[in-house]
Chains A and B, each alone.
Chain A
Amino acid sequence: MPGTDMSLEQLKIYQGSYPAPVDFEFHWEEVKRKLEAYTFKPEEEVVRFAGSKLRYSRITITAPDGTLLRAKYIRPQEGEQPRKYPLVVQFHDYPQASRSWFHLSRYAAVGYAVLAPDCRGQGGCSEAGEPGKGATGFGPMFFGLQDRVEKLYLHKIIEDALLWILAGKLLTETEKEKIVVYGEGQGAGLALSTAALFSEIGLCGAHYPMLCDYYRVWEKDFDINAYEGLRYYFRWKDPLHEREKEVFDKLAYVDVKNFAPMIRGKVLMSTGLQDVVSPPSAQFAVFNGLQCEKRHLVYPKHGHELINFFENEWLNCLIPG
């Protein structure tokens, strides 16, 4: 079996290379509790496309640290009666932006509204916020690595993702008991994180997830491409790895594999065995940690890329059978 990582047999039993902090679940329940206590109001600005029958908007929310976060929001054509729609919250890959308005229009064809946030400081419309202590001479993923856990960039984008679920519930046309999450790469990691903390999310699509098993990423030299900030950190700040444990202890709080056992809804996940961005082993560590109803579609000759076959399966999951 081809691949960029260990054999498929080994992948199927691999559990990850770094333990979860003992207070991981407590830590994130606390974060969620604080967000639920935070008062905010999604601001909606209509985006006009001449001739379009769908309703396109830009939603802006203010994160607790004052950073303005933005998302695309598309609802199906308005009927005669006002109604509510099931909502897909779709997160994007690193370091990009929410998919195009055109791309996201697909959900209306199967009766869903879609909310697609832009991660702070990446290719979309959200502000960047403060970087936290540490170097900023590489992409934002590992900003704040010399600060406390809550100041890590990765902590902030997970927190932002949780806030977007709360924002989705505040939107008046959302059928609150029917929120599903989806993501690609980084976005799949974020989708899984939100599914872990909101047990009411019944379905999660995770297309080639990343943000998982950072120790494995480092150990197997996958700290290039999206993860290159980790390599720069060690080269610049800790070349002899004297404070290595401190770094990986922090990263364990933002490791998506540690969210996996908390998920209660269904998970549909994919991995391309040619993935050189998010190592397949790190992805399997996530999948093997899931204790919910789950299905893993493994593509031997695909890499870190959109796979039509997987999208077909996701579409199948969205249409009530």
Chain B
Amino acid sequence: MPTMDMPLEQLKQYRGSTPCPEDFWEFWEKKVQEVWELPLEYELFPAEIPHAKETAFYDLWIRGVRGARIHAKYVKPLTEQKVPVILQFHGYPGSSRGWFEQTAFAGMGRAVIAMDCPGQGGSSEDKGGRPGATAADHIIMGLAGEPEQLYYAEVFMNTCLMVRLALTLEGLDSDRIYVNGASQGAALALVCTALNQPYIKRVAALYPFLSDYRRVWEMDRDIIVYNGLAYHTRWFDPMGEKLEETFTRLGYIDVQNFTERITCPVLCGTGLMDDVCPPSTQFAVFSGIKGPKKHLIFPEYAHEEIPAFDDKLISFFGVEEDELCLEQI
């Protein structure tokens, strides 16, 4: 069996190598409360795609954390009935995928809200101003300051606003809010679910990024999207004397620490040839989920489109009953 990481039997037992800060949940409960107390200021505009007879396309702008203007694509089936909604998150460092890609769910009768992460390939605004280096990846942005100053702490908070939108926008079925994403998108999907659990009924996550930073560093996979970790050591801790402190700080934005609070059904996917997000870091995330879950493993696939996984989304988000959605994929 091909693999870039430990053997599959070990992967299944692996529980992660990165420390979790002691006040992790205290910190996040406070942050979630803050973001739920923000005034919900948003506007819808006609998108560059005209409405079709069956489907409407909108640019959605919302006031995010620290007042940043956050953009999302909003695609909604035109029907009198309330429709389920998928909160869609994108890979690093791109943007919400094209309008046509977002319409696949609309074809299946689901609305989509697809947020652009601030300061990446989409239109959302990054307010910046964080202490520390900005010349490397977003993972380490703000690492020299307080945990709430981390770039990803802010992005995680912004995902909560998408849940609030799903509860507020007209014509959406607030009992059927689902979340989906791959890579960074999978990380955000899982965090968004963990932080807003009563509202989210299902989540699909393909090869999540932002997990088990210490393991990535130990494996020398701190390249490509994790390259910020290597830069941080080279620039600020060349002898590796402050690793415990650094990785504990990164624990606030480590997806594996969130997943224990997920109780809804989770569909997970991993390609064992993944050389971007090492399979062990993904297993650390999925093994922590205590709710119903199915982990699909693709031995010959890397960090790439996996059509067979995508096809599982049709029934996972299509079946009426939550308790059957994993069984009937």
Contacts from A to B (Cβ < 8 Å): 49-54, 76-77, 97, 99-111, 308-309, 311-312, 314-316, 319, 321
Q: How far is the CB of A197 from chain B (nearest CB, A)?
A: 27
Interface pair A105/B107, CB less than 8 Å apart: yes
Interface pair B328/A110, CB less than 8 Å apart: no
Q: How far is the CB of B108 from chain A (nearest CB, A)?
A: 6
Interface pair B328/A53, CB less than 8 Å apart: no
* Neighbouring A residues of B311 by C-beta, 8 Å: 49, 100-102
**Quick one: which of A77, A97, A109, A321 contacts B103, CB cutoff 8 A?**
A109
Q: How far is the CB of A271 from chain B (nearest CB, A)?
A: 18
User: Which of the candidate stretches B8-16, B44-52, B229-237, B238-246 sits at the interface with the other chain?
Assistant: B44-52
Interface pair A52/B318, CB less than 8 Å apart: yes
- The verdict on A51 contacting B103 (CB below 8 Å), with A101-B311, A109-B77 known, is no
B3 CB–A CB distance under 8 Å: no
Q: How far is the CB of B91 from chain A (nearest CB, A)?
A: 12
**Quick one: which of A76, A101, A314, A319 contacts B314, CB cutoff 8 A?**
A101
Interface pair A319/B97, CB less than 8 Å apart: no
How many Å lie between the Cα of A11 and that of B90 in the bound state?
35
* Neighbouring A residues of B313 by C-beta, 8 Å: 102
B197 CB–A CB distance under 8 Å: no
Other than A49-B314, A106-B101, A308-B100, give 14 A-B pairs with Cβ distance below 8 A. A49-B315, A50-B319, A50-B329, A51-B318, A100-B310, A101-B311, A102-B313, A105-B105, A109-B55, A109-B104, A311-B100, A312-B98, A316-B50, A319-B51
Interface pair A50/B310, CB less than 8 Å apart: no
Q: How far is the CB of A313 from chain B (nearest CB, A)?
A: 9
Interface pair B310/A109, CB less than 8 Å apart: no
Residue of A nearest to B307 (CB): A100
**Quick one: which of B101, B103, B308, B318 contacts A50, CB cutoff 8 A?**
B318
Q: How far is the CB of A299 from chain B (nearest CB, A)?
A: 13
How many Å lie between the Cα of A315 and that of B98 in the bound state?
10
* Neighbouring B residues of A50 by C-beta, 8 Å: 315, 318-319, 324, 328-329
**Quick one: which of A52, A97, A110 contacts B108, CB cutoff 8 A?**
A52
Q: How many residues of B contact A (CB 8 A)?
A: 37
- The verdict on A102 contacting B101 (CB below 8 Å), with A111-B52, A315-B49, A321-B50 known, is no
How many Å lie between the Cα of A8 and that of B23 in the bound state?
58
Interface of A is mostly: helix
**Quick one: which of B54, B55, B77, B100 contacts A312, CB cutoff 8 A?**
B100
B99 CB–A CB distance under 8 Å: yes
Interface pair B318/A311, CB less than 8 Å apart: no
Interface pair B52/A319, CB less than 8 Å apart: yes
Interface pair B101/A52, CB less than 8 Å apart: no
Interface pair B319/A106, CB less than 8 Å apart: no
How many Å lie between the Cα of A51 and that of B328 in the bound state?
9
User: Scoring B residues 51 to 73 as 1 if CB is less than 8 Å from chain A, else 0, what string do you get?
Assistant: 11111000000000000000000
**Quick one: which of A77, A100, A104, A321 contacts B109, CB cutoff 8 A?**
A77
Residue of A nearest to B94 (CB): A308
How many Å lie between the Cα of A312 and that of B97 in the bound state?
10
Interface pair A308/B108, CB less than 8 Å apart: no
- The verdict on A103 contacting B99 (CB below 8 Å), with A50-B318, A53-B109, A77-B109 known, is no
For residues 277 through 329 of chain B, which have their beta carbon under 8 Å from a beta carbon of chain A? 307-308, 310-311, 313-315, 317-320, 324-325, 328-329
Interface pair A110/B99, CB less than 8 Å apart: no
- The verdict on A102 contacting B104 (CB below 8 Å), with A49-B315, A50-B315, A109-B52 known, is yes
**Quick one: which of B99, B109, B328 contacts A311, CB cutoff 8 A?**
B99
Q: How far is the CB of A242 from chain B (nearest CB, A)?
A: 41
**Quick one: which of A52, A111, A315, A321 contacts B100, CB cutoff 8 A?**
A315
Interface pair B49/A102, CB less than 8 Å apart: no
- The verdict on A51 contacting B319 (CB below 8 Å), with A109-B54, A311-B99, A315-B100 known, is yes
B150 CB–A CB distance under 8 Å: no
Listed from nearest, the 8 A-B pairs whose CB atoms lie closest are A308-B98, A51-B318, A51-B319, A100-B307, A108-B107, A50-B328, A102-B310, A109-B106
How many Å lie between the Cα of A308 and that of B325 in the bound state?
30
* Neighbouring A residues of B98 by C-beta, 8 Å: 308-309, 311-312, 315
Interface pair A54/B50, CB less than 8 Å apart: no
Residue of B nearest to A96 (CB): B307
Q: How far is the CB of B106 from chain A (nearest CB, A)?
A: 4
Interface pair B49/A312, CB less than 8 Å apart: yes
* Neighbouring B residues of A53 by C-beta, 8 Å: 108-109, 318
* Neighbouring A residues of B51 by C-beta, 8 Å: 319
Interface pair B310/A103, CB less than 8 Å apart: yes
How many Å lie between the Cα of A50 and that of B325 in the bound state?
9
* Neighbouring B residues of A111 by C-beta, 8 Å: 52-54
Interface pair A308/B314, CB less than 8 Å apart: no
Interface pair A106/B49, CB less than 8 Å apart: no
